[in-house]
């Protein structure tokens, strides 16, 4: 039985590479750790293995795509969350590609998974009726504040401002 390099790679990724070489924030490490916890539990359930028995051979592009689909459809996470999970996986597979030449094809397949673009909300202009309604609503308050709430040193409202408004 050949030794399983996956546990050592994952440990080196979190403790050596992310923290010491990349100097990522504590929050990034926590986010990546949570993503990996979810991913490993998902793959273990799919393969009917314990997490401790998973190896690099179990972490295929098919498993990653199934996990991302699960994140969106079953867990009802947003596209942004899905992309964060994918970023954590991409980062690890980039790390592995540099250190394990035999896993290069597997890593390249996972790294080829693109991020998903969220739909952009359409920004539209206000039409004339909407602008009129807003101005009508606020003009009374603006008029009242300028003409009655701001008294001149002589004790009178600033009449030229009131005339300009209407």
What's this model's pTM, rounded to 2 decimal places?
0.71
Q: Which CATH class is domain 6-111?
A: mainly alpha
User: For residue 148, what pLDDT is reported?
Assistant: 56
Nearest-angstrom CA–CA distance, 89 and 110: 8
Rounded Cα distance, 117 and 37, in Å = 24
**Per-residue DSSP letter, 123:** P
Query: At which residue do the structure tokens 């992310």 appear?
Result: 18
Closest Cα partner for 139 from 162, 155, 156? 162
Q: State whether residue 55 is helix, strand or coil.
A: coil
Q: How far apart are CA 32 and CA 117, in angstroms?
A: 20
Counting every residue written for the chain, the total comes to 166
The span from the first CA to the last CA of the chain, in angstroms, equals 90
pLDDT exceeds 90 at position 130: no
How far is residue 95 CA from its own chain's centroid? 21
Segment 69-101, tens digit of pLDDT: 999 999 999 999 999 999 999 999 999 999 998
> How many other CB atoms are there within 10 angstroms of residue 28's CB atom?
17
Q: Where are the domains of the chain?
A: 6-111, 128-165
Instruction: Please tell me the predicted confidence (pLDDT) of residue 35.
Output: 96
């Amino acid at each position: 039985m050949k030794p399983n390099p996956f546990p050592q790679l994952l440990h080196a990724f979190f403790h050596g590479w992310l923290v010491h070489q990349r100097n990522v924030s504590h929050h990034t490490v926590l986010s990546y750790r949570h993503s990996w916890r979810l991913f490993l539990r998902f793959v273990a359930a799919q393969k009917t293995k314990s997490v401790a028995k998973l190896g690099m051979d179990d972490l295929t592009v098919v498993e990653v795509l199934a996990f991302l689909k699960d994140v969106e459809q079953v867990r009802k996470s947003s596209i942004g969350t899905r992309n964060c999970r994918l970023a954590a996986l991409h980062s690890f597979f980039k790390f592995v590609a540099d250190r394990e030449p035999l896993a290069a094809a597997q890593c390249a397949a996972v790294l080829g998974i693109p991020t998903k673009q969220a739909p952009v909300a359409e920004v539209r202009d206000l039409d004339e009726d909407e602008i009129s309604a807003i101005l009508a609503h606020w003009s009374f308050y603006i008029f009242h504040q300028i003409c009655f709430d701001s008294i001149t040193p002589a004790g009178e409202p600033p009449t030229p401002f009131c005339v300009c408004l209407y």
